[in-house]
């Protein structure tokens, strides 16, 4: 029987992407389409890049993919802070807490 290693960052980023999808749907319900699109792209890209790093062809490729994921996380944090500080936007505080853990 083969035991699979838990990859905490991969799991956290996947769960975060699911939360981002739900939040972006809420933004779209509130007609915040532009922010929703930007946030959906950057927020789901974090996990996609981390997952892609798992199949890196070299250690340099691995590091490069993780750096891209970190940049996407930074961009996502920006959009979430913008939502938090703007009036008439749904609360994003739980997502801001989640992104810090990634």
Using one digit for the tens of pLDDT, what is the confidence trace for 73-97? 999 999 999 999 999 999 999 999 9
| Angle, helix 33-53 to helix 8-29, in steps of 10 degrees | 170
CA separation for the pair 47, 25 (Å, rounded): 19
Alpha helices in 1-102, H assignment, sequence order: 8-29, 33-53, 59-85, 93-101
State residue 6's pLDDT score: 84
End-to-end alpha-carbon separation of the chain, Å? 30
CA separation for the pair 75, 39 (Å, rounded): 8
CA separation for the pair 32, 24 (Å, rounded): 9
Question: What pLDDT band is residue 1 in, cutting at 50, 70 and 90?
Answer: very low
Indicate the CATH number for domain 10-95.
1.20.1440.60
Q: What is the mean pLDDT of residues 6-23?
A: 96
Using one digit for the tens of pLDDT, what is the confidence trace for 39-50? 999 999 999 999
């Amino acid at each position: 029987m083969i035991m699979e290693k838990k990859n905490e960052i991969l799991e956290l980023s996947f769960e975060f992407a699911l939360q981002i999808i739900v939040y972006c749907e809420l933004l779209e319900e509130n007609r915040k389409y532009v922010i929703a699109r930007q946030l959906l792209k950057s927020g789901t890209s974090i996990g996609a890049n981390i997952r892609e790093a798992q199949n890196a062809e070299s250690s340099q490729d691995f590091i490069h993919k993780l750096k891209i994921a970190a940049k996407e996380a930074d961009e996502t944090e920006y959009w979430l802070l913008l939502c938090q500080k703007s009036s008439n936007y749904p609360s994003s505080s739980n997502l801001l807490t989640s992104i810090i853990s990634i």
